Amino acid sequence: MTQTPAGGHDGPYPAPVVVPGFDVRPEWIDYNGHMNVGYYGVAFDMAFEVMLTDHLGMGGDMVTHSGQGPYILQSHLQFLREVRQGERFNYHIRLLDHDHKRGHYFAQMFAEADGALCATQEGLFMNVSHDTGRSAPYPDWAVARLARMLRDHNGLEPAPQIGRPIGIRR
């Protein structure tokens, strides 16, 4: 396993990390005339991969060079406003916590036209060795980058959706 990053940078990191350039594709539209629930997960994953690769160097290049990389363990999506075919949107992603194997993040999807918050995702990821299929500690450089990103993101206002439980309100 390599101890040098294959990409990304050592910071400082934008707070939050903004990932622009998405639009609702025709094949993502369901019979209700809006983006299907499953494609929200696809789009959030695409944005998260940009953050991992471009900023932390922990995406596909890390897997290629070290044989390990992040797996999503848990994800909680909240749908706040419909998005329709052709609408453009972007993501704001912040790191909430990490340790030597895991990270906890929060992402927000905003419509470009009016800035409305359309959806959120809170997720937990873990580094996994492709040789063993089990969790593995991140290399020192990755832990240092996660620590720097966490420091850079600590000043962000907490979003009300973070940690929100699922249930019927009565």
Domain range annotation of the chain: 17-153
Q: Which CATH architecture has domain 17-153?
A: Roll (3.10)
Average pLDDT along the chain, 170 residues, taken 10 residues at a time: 82 98 97 96 97 95 92 97 97 98 98 98 97 96 98 97 92
pLDDT at residue 2 in the model: 52
The model carries a pTM of: 0.95
140-143: long-range contacts, CB 8 A cutoff, minimum separation 24: 140/3, 141/3, 141/4, 141/5, 141/57, 142/5, 142/56, 142/57, 142/58, 142/62, 143/98, 143/100
pLDDT at residue 169 in the model: 86
